[in-house]
Structure 1
Amino acid sequence: MRWRNTSLGSVLDDEVSPARDLTRFEELASTGTFLCTEQDHGNDAAALETVARYDRVREEFVLHTPHEGARKYMPNTSPVGGPKSAVVAARLTVGARDEGVFLFLVPLSDEQGMRPGVTVELLPDRVGSPVDHCVTGFEHVRLPRTALIQGEHGRLAPDGVLDSALGSVRKRYLHAIRRVGIGKLCMSASALGGSRTALAIAVRYARLRHVSGPTAGVRVPLAAHRSHQARLLTRTATAYAMTCLHRAVTEEWISHSPGDRARVERLVAVAKGWITWARDITTECRERCGARGLFPVNGLAEFTADADGAITAEGDNLAVWCKAGAEMIFGQEAAPAPRPATGHESLADPAFLRRALAAAERHWHLTARRDVHEGGRDPLARWNQASAAALALVETFAVARAADAFATAGARVTHPATRQVLDDLRALFLLERIIPLSGLLLAEGALTAEQVRAAPTALNDLTARLGPHLAALTEAFDVPEEHLASLPLLTARTVLRTGT
């Protein structure tokens, strides 16, 4: 579905050009891909070097890759799977003028193979779910003027005059690739689905798999051991928070106004980084299923590698978080200072824990601002000085927004017992993140010394209270029973007969 967003979606966004015949795409007789990243330009794709020169005489574009470093990197562009087209990001030049990066609809192959001037070099297989990843180049490929995908960022007249509502070349580029924002939501959803499925598998396996108990001759399920159960429970709490955050951010993306786009794009980027970086969920689930979890047939082994792909796709996580952090330092208000802890607050109260987290968010925000000023005159030195605090700010902000989304979703639950379980789960999610910050929060007055000492016990108590609900919590992920029943490690007879 990703190509439908970035490739076909970009074409459909063009309401300026004459209507294009998309029948072959709709019938899947031809598929599309999106070519932006180059060998020499990944996260700095605004500096890409593929050129689309406009020929005024013939009213055509000449698409060209000037050197190996400008070849498009990694998308599936070989003839495997049938005819393909691509939406290609290239630098539009008209005479001596560089008009910035625009998108062009380019046929790559047909039933006879690659089109003239299009070269592909197949890359080695990657781990995870590989496709025909390639390096793609263009050798003076001629395109009709209708190949240009136009919009408010630019309309090209036959005489080569560009009319753009966006003054800067950078703004034109960002508008041209705006579908990447939706792509970040897609990558987040993919990783989130993997995490939820992995938890459903691992929790069911923990109930089916029996091991020797403390009494000779008595066997107990893995789930009876809190050391096993707690690791899955904390990941389940994170998955709930991730789910609520993703849904809330998706809703903001759908409903945002044009004036709020920059903030929402930043929120999408922050969520994408936090959700896809939570690949420790799938790693933990694989480990909790022992040796059997290593076999792809049991549905767990490839999730972590798939998450690795999502981490890099649609903007490398570290790069998009650096951009978000730099914007947030002065472009966003710091969280208000929470009231100091009295020591009477309960460590199982998610509202109290959320206030404590706000103290950490505020600390990192103010620290990043201070570090920028202390970094000297050189822009890179200033960023290097502030980057650690800025990235801590982004992470804390992501956790806080996830907790808020979790709270909003829980408030809609009317069944008292279910709501209490969700409140406890949210408290578990927050407390697990508060404990590593306890020194900072003690210094900030958000926790008392006694609360810091009591936090591990409070975490253990929450785990004990939530343990009986773990199966129900993961069953609520609604992973299709047909899928779970197809996995050999979840066949009770097989689980009980093997030693793994």
Structure 2
Amino acid sequence: MTRFAEKLPETESESSDARGDLVDLIFDGKFSSLHQDLRAALENPLFDQRPGLSTLEAGRLSYERARFLHEHLELGSELPHDQERMFAVSEWSCLVDITTLPVLNIHYNLCMGTILQHGAGRDDLGDYLDELRSMSSIGLLIATELGYGNNIAALETEAVYDHETGEFVLNTPNARAQKFMPNTGISDIPKLAVVLARLKVSGADRGVFPFIVRISDRNGLRPGVHVTRLPEKPGFALDNGVTRFDHVRIPRRNLLTGSAGRLTDAGEFRANVKNRRTQVLRALDRVTPGRICLSGALISAARASTYIAVRYAWQRLTAAPGRGEVPIISFRSQQSALFTSLARVYAMTFLLNHVKKEYLHRHGGDDTEVNQLVSIAKALSSWEMSEVLHVCRERCGAQGMFSINRIADYLPMAQGVVTAEGDNLPLLATVAGQMVAGRSGRVASAPQVPEPGDIRDGQFHLDLLRYREDSLRWETRQAMRKRSDERPSLASGWNDNMNAAVSMARTRGVQVALERFLDAADRARTEESRTALQLLACLYGLIEVERDSGWYLARNALTPEQVERLPREIDSLCEQILPHSLMLVDAFGVSPELLRAPIAADDYVSAVDQAVGHALTSVRPNAPAPRQPVEATAGHTGNGRSVRVEASTG
């Protein structure tokens, strides 16, 4: 029989400065001002786990929780004008209820944000905004149609202007035009939507614009609005539905044209933007900060998952040949899985911190590079964090399969983020195409192979990544030009080269992430935090170099000896990171009390026992006597102090 470790090893108080330093770097020095009250609000009993709820009941609870945060934190007056705060709300709201995240993000960012942006200066929209600010109505964005995914410019839902009545007639003309997946499935909650529809004036198609449409009130769906709830999505309680409109009349004031044009009193539409695609992209401008919100939420969930998995690995004992029983964190296989995940989480955290700054401090004009960076970060971080969640789930064994331990619930959120606000692959392909076609860039001729470097040197890792990005861009351009000379279609030429271009765009994201990671390590104030971050940044660089080591080897950017050394160097780094691992996850600002995940508790056996309602009051009769404690080889705290774990006969 195994007697489990009773609690996690304790860290010395001298590590508190290092932990505080990491908190400042992770939250960009704004934990107290932006995050602390959000974190505290989630400890309210309303967010306690509620096993056994139906999907519909869980969905209603998520709306209740969203309203609690709205009222408790007075978010309605600040969020529409404070995007940085909105990013923080996204990062915390998802941790104890993944469905609360989209409810809040859609309400504040996509609905209110669109109305404020495209209805700026209009006093006649004040009553709608008051409803949303008080959350007496929940805000929605209804855009995607059953027949059209990312191609918003092709939408078929139409809003025909009736000049005699001064109204628009909103209609779904065919099955393709049904709105797919808005959260309209719970119909007795008042909901006010921004609906994207094709504006038709005097028989002419004027392009796709946003319209304000009341979807439901406390009595149910409004006349002419029809909703069919979609099948359940495992782990996600958002009330998604297929929505169609049957000649719904809405006031003229509900058209949101912004600066794209205006409808005159004479019933004529005067457009200011000639390009229809540009017009649609302006209407969907709030999708860009939405991408940052969703990326931050998933990175936050990955931080919570590595926190849970690392703490559990320090306690969960397993047999070791000739050693009795040791924590599973003692094994290099467990370290490699969890610490490479930890390195990815830190890298994506620092990447997104950089993206937030670039987005918030943009100066208008041509924001192409910032928008590209946001899209790259969204695709890279959501793919990376999806993998991290799967690794953490598996490394927690059977315990990781249960919703009560959180990680399994984060997995469906990851799938949603990969798809939402622009599906990752077409999103990254679009950016890659822009990067290949763009005249700017540092590549005018074939890139030169970087000088040989130390395989553990972060600057060498950056040189390799820059070389790969530049090479893929140059090779793609050359291939596209060659195909153009042979006169194939543009689509065919792009199709033959898009995978290399997508790899180029991904590499760009990795490069920026590593740059920000190394910069954070340089800015660390304590020796302990700096050492931990340098080791972790080196590990991130090595796993990315190893990922494409065959490519580098084929181009003589790495030697065969260096490629052979990569796995050993990664193992060595994991061994060095082990003493810092608890400090690294403790800096994420979460706690067992916040997450309510039993396996993250200081004594997970008692926590699990209590969670299943079977707390033991006495030791089982005839239990074998425990042996003397034995020292685990890898058992060290964040300050290097040895840890002793107990093993028993069995």
TM-score (norm 2): 0.73
Q: Deviations for 1:84-116, whole angstroms, at most 9, x for unmatched residues?
A: 111000011111321111000000111211111
Q: CA deviation at 1:198?
A: 0.5
Counterparts of 2:451 and 2:474 in 1: how far apart (Å)? 24
- Please, which moves more after superposition, 477-486 or 453-462? 477-486
Counterparts of 1:163 and 1:123 in 2: how far apart (Å)? 39
Among 373, 388, 394, the alignment partner of 1:287 is 394
Give 1:321's aligned residue: 428
Identical counterparts, % of pairs: 35
- Please, which moves more after superposition, 441-450 or 191-200? 441-450
2:115 aligned with 1:11: yes
Q: Deviations for 1:353-383, whole angstroms, at most 9, x for unmatched residues?
A: 1111111111211121122223343121011
Give 2:518's aligned residue: 407
Give 2:363's aligned residue: 257
Counterparts of 1:456 and 1:225 in 2: how far apart (Å)? 15
Q: Deviations for 1:240-259, whole angstroms, at most 9, x for unmatched residues?
A: 01001111111111111222
Q: CA deviation at 1:489?
A: 6.2
Among 186, 190, 194, the alignment partner of 2:297 is 190
Give 1:473's aligned residue: 584
2:369 aligned with 1:272: no
Gapped runs of 5+ residues in structure 2? 1-103, 613-650
Among 545, 548, 552, the alignment partner of 1:441 is 552
Give 2:456's aligned residue: 348
C-alpha change, 1:489 and 1:442, in structure 2 (3 Å) is closer
Task: For 1:492, give the aligned amino acid.
Answer: Y
Q: CA deviation at 1:128?
A: 2.5
> Cα RMSD (Å) of the superposition?
2.0
Mapping of residues 295-334 of structure 1, within 5 Å: 295-331=402-438, 332-334=440-442
Question: Secondary structure of the residue that 1:205 maps to in structure 2?
Answer: helix
Among 570, 588, 591, the alignment partner of 1:459 is 570
Counterparts of 1:168 and 1:480 in 2: how far apart (Å)? 51
Give 2:491's aligned residue: 380
C-alpha change, 1:66 and 1:57, in structure 2 (3 Å) is same
Among 247, 252, 265, the alignment partner of 2:353 is 247
The answer to whether the Cα contact below 8 Å between 2:402 and 2:408 also exists between their aligned partners in 1 is yes
Question: Secondary structure of the residue that 2:407 maps to in structure 1?
Answer: coil
Q: CA deviation at 1:334?
A: 4.3
Counterparts of 1:65 and 1:395 in 2: how far apart (Å)? 39
Mapping of residues 79-118 of structure 1, within 5 Å: 79-80=186-187, 82-118=189-225
Counterparts of 1:57 and 1:407 in 2: how far apart (Å)? 64
Task: For 2:390, give the aligned amino acid.
Answer: T
TM-score (norm 1): 0.95
- Please, which moves more after superposition, 460-469 or 192-201? 460-469
Counterparts of 1:299 and 1:189 in 2: how far apart (Å)? 17
The answer to whether the Cα contact below 8 Å between 1:16 and 1:151 also exists between their aligned partners in 2 is no
Q: Deviations for 1:305-350, whole angstroms, at most 9, x for unmatched residues?
A: 110011111111111011111101021414687764554x321111
Task: For 2:109, give the aligned amino acid.
Answer: N
C-alpha change, 1:338 and 1:453, in structure 2 (3 Å) is farther
C-alpha change, 1:277 and 1:431, in structure 2 (3 Å) is same
Counterparts of 1:49 and 1:18 in 2: how far apart (Å)? 30
Q: CA deviation at 1:16?
A: 4.5
Counterparts of 2:441 and 2:317 in 1: how far apart (Å)? 53
Q: CA deviation at 1:420?
A: 2.6
Task: For 1:41, give the aligned amino acid.
Answer: Y
C-alpha change, 1:98 and 1:16, in structure 2 (3 Å) is farther
C-alpha change, 1:260 and 1:426, in structure 2 (3 Å) is farther
Q: Deviations for 1:199-233, whole angstroms, at most 9, x for unmatched residues?
A: 000000001111122236x2211111111111100
Question: Secondary structure of the residue that 2:160 maps to in structure 1?
Answer: strand
Task: For 2:160, give the aligned amino acid.
Answer: R
Give 1:119's aligned residue: 226
The answer to whether the Cα contact below 8 Å between 1:374 and 1:382 also exists between their aligned partners in 2 is no
Task: For 2:154, give the aligned amino acid.
Answer: A
- Please, which moves more after superposition, 248-257 or 403-412? 403-412
The answer to whether the Cα contact below 8 Å between 2:182 and 2:242 also exists between their aligned partners in 1 is yes
Give 2:282's aligned residue: 175
The answer to whether the Cα contact below 8 Å between 2:261 and 2:269 also exists between their aligned partners in 1 is yes
